[in-house]
Amino acid sequence: RKEVEQDPGPFNVPEGATVAFNCTYSNSASQSFFWYRQDCRKEPKLLMSVYSSGNEDGRFTAQLNRASQYISLLIRDSKLSDSATYLCVVFSGGYNKLIFGAGTRLAVHP
């Protein structure tokens, strides 16, 4: 079983739609969680951290469910510029050793 699993997609949605991605992780001792965004042929960039209480940043909401070992990302009012691959990332201790999921691809169309 992969340490971090994501549905690869693609999720094809129209502008203005709400879309949600889930990610599951296998290590119950994982300490912190992130969503990174990666545009086509570019480097990953931090989108947001995921806190235990859930957190929101504009149109983006991240949730953590430790009991079921999954995190989610909700994007409201999708924009064309949201088209990218979203990487679920888990920190399980050590020297900032991040475990990356393979990513979920989102394509927003007019």
Partner 1 sequence: NAGVTQTPKFRILKIGQSMTLQCTQDMNHNYMYWYRQDPGMGLKLIYYSVGAGITDKGEVPNGYNVSRSTTEDFPLRLELAAPSQTSVYFCASSRTSGSYNEQFFGPGTRLTVL
For partner 1, the binding residues (CB under 8 A) are 2, 4, 8, 31-32, 41-46, 49, 87, 91, 93-103
For the bound state, the minimum distance from the C-beta of residue 86 to partner 1, rounded and expressed in Å, comes to 12
For the bound state, the minimum distance from the C-beta of residue 69 to partner 1, rounded and expressed in Å, comes to 17
Residues, the chain, total?
110
- Residue closer to partner 1 (CB basis): 97 or 110: 97
For the bound state, the minimum distance from the C-beta of residue 83 to partner 1, rounded and expressed in Å, comes to 18
- In contact, 103 and 6? CB cutoff 8 Å: yes
- Residue closer to partner 1 (CB basis): 19 or 87: 87
3-state secondary structure of 52: coil
- Residue closer to partner 1 (CB basis): 99 or 107: 99
Closest by Cα among 23, 30, 20, 19 to 71: 23
Half-sphere exposure of 80 (CA within 13 A, CB side): 2
